[in-house]
Structure 1
Amino acid sequence: MKLPDDVRRFLARRFQSRHREWLLGDAGEGQWPLEVSLGMPTEQAALRQVDGVRVWASAWQDWQGVGTLSWCERRWKTLGSQRLPEKLALRNPEDVALWIGESARWGRAKSRYQTLTARWPALARQLPRYFEVLADYSDADFRRLAEMLDWISLNPNSNLYPRQIPVTGADSKWLDSRKGLISDLIATLQGDPTGERDFFRRCGLRAQPQLMRMRVLDPELRARLGGLGDVSAPCDEVASIGIRPQNVFIVENLQTGLAFDDLPGAVVIMRLGYAVDVLGQLPWLQQARCIYWGDIDTHGFAILNRARTYIPSLKTVLMDEFTLMSHRDLWVEEKDQHPSTELPLLTSTERTLYQAIKGNTCGQQVRLEQERIRWDVAWNVIQASNR
């Protein structure tokens, strides 16, 4: 027997699973009205819970809400004639939304869906995927989104930087968090939903060049660059730089690289994170001895694994069990671990430590950030590895 609160929970689940179909106008579960059986008991079941049946029937007797409530007469041998609630019929999604307190969100989503599909009918089947965008964006954000789609549709090959697009309020922060949405909708408007997924190429925009930060640690190498020691330049320019270092240190964090002192024949590349793919673009790096030093956590090892795709001979320093265990007082929690259970390009020793961290053998999601390692210890190891 379903009480009004039970029906509300049922309708909330149905709304959650079907609201996109309803927005599209698909029948989804069949046809409207949506009928909800209230679970009328048999006479035998009613005899076992007379008080419960009385509470259930009374709840619906006092109910005043949206929908059509149907009652029926039951003539039972023992309990006599009873008028009991049988089912509730809801005419449309608006009724469901009203029942569960989602009227405002549903109304916004439907109105905005109609606005966008009137302008771009091709979006009709794609937009329901973005129900939360339609329902929850502020009026200003929704206006910016519509204006952005309109401008890119009319200027598909502008070759402008995103900040140059003449849409009020569409700054870098706003756009960065919506690249996937805009790229997906533009792809649909261009009739190529499974093609190019890169935001800039899809929208005909110019991406800022990816900069690489590198410090030249050898005075003789710096002299070949006119004394320049701290370089931040597009990757293709760094690729053609006129030096040939013997050792290349790759460190995960900026401050770690800034702490390096002079080292003969060496450079240090800083703060690539998962963008270690760019290492494959540096021909002079392939002739050098490369050493990676990252955080001792699951993502540090995942970045190392990725980097070895481009530098198979890549060595590591200060990413071992001894370093981890000797700095227990400086551990922090890695809130979101890397999802992979196996990283195939790790050495057996690295893999053992990765799995220990992943499996919480050492502690709960432990993480040792590289800049927290005592610098006197770290610098001695770095110097020894710069042979």
Structure 2
Amino acid sequence: MPKIEKWGLLPNTVLGVLHKKEWENRRNLKQRLLNQRPFPIEISLKVPTDQQARDNLGHFHAFFKAWTDFAYPELVEWQERQYRQLSEQRVPVKLRIFSLQQLTELLGTEQQLENWLDKISSFLKQSFVHDRHQHRLFQTLIHHLEQIERYSQQEWQWLIQLIEQLKPNMGAGLYLRALPLSAVNTKFLEQNLLLTEAICNVLYDDEIVLAGGLLAWLDCLDSPKGWLTIKPVCPNVQEKLGGLPVFQLSTEVLDQFELPAERIIVVENIQSGLACPYLENSIVVCGGGKNITWMKAKWLQYKQVFYWGDIDSEGLNILSMVRQKIPHVIALMMDEATVLQFQNHMVDEPDSIFSEPQYLTADELKLFHDLRAQTFKNRRLEQERISVDWVHRYLELL
């Protein structure tokens, strides 16, 4: 193997060091983007001493030729050096980069930077961003560069639509998933809470920090935790339950305690259940996930029972198990029409159900196989990704 010298750095080596220090190191990159780390960048090429050059003339000549042929000669600083055997030689001593544009051209990262800045620029141009907030908002977005990088163009538009709709106290009396948002689902807000909070804090002059966080600023109700959550969605039913707006019962109690409503709506996830609107003579039981053992309760056989879960193989399998206990159960929003409406919001589902559910209807079973075959854009539509207005319109038809 040829000896690797520590002097006479070649362009590929220098560019590798540059990429690691100035691009992969996001702290340094953010400081460059914010003009907190000034140009020029200077990198020594480690010019050889007279002895080093004499010991390895081959590397010396390769060093000289590589920088002579370098594609950006204007960035290379040369000096005259005196060598005993080689006499006076003009050698490359330093690579100097004077701007962000030169840096990205050298590293081949122009498109990546352009994508970031296009997203940030599109946000800053929104009518709800006032001139006095521009500079600070730019800084905030740069500080969240890693998250911005992960957004698709569609997700970035959702973020803009989300921020535009958020207003102080708009969640008064509501749980997070019941926020009246249009075109954006509340799970997207939940998944992007930190960035949303940081942006709103700039746009509303630190009100979010002073309030103790975004959810406090929105005045959303805290989500109950533990057991199965019961929410009467009809005033008459609520009155029969002592006026309680929401409470929790254990599986054992629910098995024995008949809920005083004609319609029982079982919702897999708690937040989606809490977001259900007014429905006559109805109670929502939510947050049980796979816990459906209580649904063997005898009193349920005399009720109208509805089930709403994620549209994926796991959710349809739970629906099948529910129908085994309650043959007359009706599925809500677990159909092809809902999938087609929201398939841009679908995510992947790892394989977990390997046998065909036995108690699905023909349409439900077809949907199960279509999801497994990835007939749609992906294999899982979580119920939290369905918009509030769609849920309300659907339930109004009951």
TM-score of the two chains, using structure 2 as the length reference? 0.50
| Aligned partner (choices 11, 16, 21) of residue 31 of structure 2 | 21
Q: Secondary structure at the match of 2:76?
A: strand
- 1:180 equivalent in alignment to 2:194: yes
Distance, in Å, in 1 between the alignment partners of 2:40 and 2:87 is: 32
Structure 1 equivalent of residue 379 of structure 2: none
- 1:258 equivalent in alignment to 2:290: no
**Contact in 2 for aligned 1:183/1:203 (Cα 8 Å):** no
Q: Secondary structure at the match of 1:113?
A: helix
Distance, in Å, in 2 between the alignment partners of 1:187 and 1:224 is: 46
| Aligned partner (choices 56, 61, 65) of residue 68 of structure 2 | 61
Distance, in Å, in 2 between the alignment partners of 1:128 and 1:174 is: 21
CA deviations over 1:119-166 (Å, ceiling 9, x no partner): 3323233222111344443222222222322322xx222226556555
Distance, in Å, in 2 between the alignment partners of 1:260 and 1:144 is: 38
| Aligned partner (choices 34, 39, 42) of residue 46 of structure 2 | 39
Distance, in Å, in 2 between the alignment partners of 1:141 and 1:195 is: 28
**Contact in 2 for aligned 1:38/1:85 (Cα 8 Å):** yes
**Contact in 2 for aligned 1:94/1:106 (Cα 8 Å):** no
Structure 1 equivalent of residue 170 of structure 2: 158
Identical-pair percentage: 18
**Contact in 2 for aligned 1:68/1:90 (Cα 8 Å):** yes
Distance, in Å, in 1 between the alignment partners of 2:258 and 2:119 is: 60
Distance, in Å, in 1 between the alignment partners of 2:148 and 2:186 is: 21
Structure 2 equivalent of residue 124 of structure 1: 138
**Contact in 2 for aligned 1:108/1:134 (Cα 8 Å):** no
How far is the alpha carbon of 1:67 from its aligned partner? 5.5
- Match for 1:158: what amino acid? M
Q: Secondary structure at the match of 2:92?
A: strand
- Match for 2:161: what amino acid? E
How far is the alpha carbon of 1:215 from its aligned partner? 4.6
Structure 1 equivalent of residue 216 of structure 2: 201
- 1:102 equivalent in alignment to 2:114: no
How far is the alpha carbon of 1:58 from its aligned partner? 1.4
Structure 2 equivalent of residue 337 of structure 1: none
Distance, in Å, in 2 between the alignment partners of 1:164 and 1:216 is: 29
- Match for 1:11: what amino acid? L
How far is the alpha carbon of 1:75 from its aligned partner? 2.0
Q: Secondary structure at the match of 2:90?
A: strand
**Contact in 2 for aligned 1:35/1:87 (Cα 8 Å):** yes
- 1:212 equivalent in alignment to 2:227: yes
**Contact in 1 for aligned 2:170/2:179 (Cα 8 Å):** no
Q: Tell me: higher relative CO, structure 1 or 2? Use CA pairs within 8 A at least 6 residues apart.
A: 2
Distance, in Å, in 1 between the alignment partners of 2:177 and 2:103 is: 41
Distance, in Å, in 1 between the alignment partners of 2:265 and 2:180 is: 30
- 1:72 equivalent in alignment to 2:107: no
Does the C-alpha gap of structure 1 residues 174 and 157 become closer, same or farther in structure 2, counting only changes over 3 Å?
same
- 1:148 equivalent in alignment to 2:157: no
- Match for 1:21: what amino acid? Q
**Contact in 1 for aligned 2:162/2:189 (Cα 8 Å):** no
Q: Secondary structure at the match of 2:139?
A: coil
Structure 1 equivalent of residue 321 of structure 2: none
Does the C-alpha gap of structure 1 residues 140 and 59 become closer, same or farther in structure 2, counting only changes over 3 Å?
same
Alignment of 1:354-373 (within 5 A): none
Distance, in Å, in 2 between the alignment partners of 1:227 and 1:176 is: 32
| Aligned partner (choices 233, 256, 262) of residue 222 of structure 1 | 256
Does the C-alpha gap of structure 1 residues 132 and 255 become closer, same or farther in structure 2, counting only changes over 3 Å?
closer
| Aligned partner (choices 10, 15, 18) of residue 8 of structure 1 | 15
**Contact in 2 for aligned 1:68/1:88 (Cα 8 Å):** yes
How far is the alpha carbon of 1:261 from its aligned partner? 9.8
Does the C-alpha gap of structure 1 residues 58 and 112 become closer, same or farther in structure 2, counting only changes over 3 Å?
same
Gaps of 5+ in 2: 1-7, 229-248, 272-287, 298-398
Does the C-alpha gap of structure 1 residues 44 and 198 become closer, same or farther in structure 2, counting only changes over 3 Å?
same
CA deviations over 1:308-353 (Å, ceiling 9, x no partner): xxxxxxxxxxxxxxxxxxxxxxxxxxxxxxxxxxxxxxxxxxxxxx
| Aligned partner (choices 79, 90, 94) of residue 87 of structure 1 | 94
Gaps of 5+ in 1: 236-252, 263-387
Does the C-alpha gap of structure 1 residues 93 and 50 become closer, same or farther in structure 2, counting only changes over 3 Å?
same
Q: Secondary structure at the match of 2:144?
A: helix
How far is the alpha carbon of 1:64 from its aligned partner? 1.0
Q: Secondary structure at the match of 2:227?
A: strand
Structure 1 equivalent of residue 390 of structure 2: none
Distance, in Å, in 2 between the alignment partners of 1:23 and 1:191 is: 23
Q: Secondary structure at the match of 1:124?
A: helix
Distance, in Å, in 2 between the alignment partners of 1:32 and 1:138 is: 31
**Contact in 2 for aligned 1:183/1:199 (Cα 8 Å):** yes
